[in-house]
Amino acid sequence: MVAARRGGKRVGYVRVSTIDQNPGRQLDGLELDKTFTDKASGKDAKRPQLQAALDYLRDGDVLIVHSMDRLARNLDDLRRIVLELTERGVQVQFVKEGMLFTGEDSAMSKLLLSVMGAFAEFERSLLKERQREGIALAKKAGVYKGRKPSLTPERAAELRSRVAAGEKKAGLAREFGISRETLYQYAPVAE
């Protein structure tokens, strides 16, 4: 177990991709001062709790993450985040890999970060490829119907009429429980 430097905090970051996943198991049993949890895909670094954790961390703190693929799914983001943190005096610990990055890392540590990060990125690519192949086979067999619509036809009609009446789109998206992107799919803006 890595201790934070004097006065520093032990901060956990947890990311789960689906609602079914249990965020509690990732850093279970570790003593942490604060934990940030995202329920989002790791495909990019634009995650609200990750940003909050990065803003929160100070010199002397330790960011503790279950594994590299929980922090970032591509090598560029992983290396950028680790480098930015260590340059600020924040240590980064990956529990599963048993690795700690301090900013005074050896060439071997930097190589391992790159290799392990490349494996995480490769694994994601394989997963997406298998998913596309599975969907193509299911479509060919007539089994794949696609994602269930977010709104019933009645709710979609109500949404379109309220957009046409000039109601604010952000408020409607919240009320209907959909993203603004989904709202624009149901009610495209006339140019």
Residues known to be catalytic: 17
Tell me which residue of 5, 141, 119, 18 sits closest to 72, measured CA to CA: 119
DSSP 8-state code for residue 5: P
- How far is it, in rounded angstroms, from Cα 75 to Cα 125? 12
DSSP assignment string, 121-144: HHHHHHHHHHHHHHHHHHHHTT--
Answer whether 151's CB lies under 8 Å from 178's CB.
yes
- Which of 20-39 are b and which e, b meaning 16 or more Cβ less than 10 Å from the residue's Cβ? eeebeebbeeeeeeebbbbe
Tokens read off for 42? 């790791």
- How far is it, in rounded angstroms, from Cα 13 to Cα 65? 5
Residues sharing a CB contact under 8 Å with residue 84, sequence separation 6 or more, in sequence order:
54
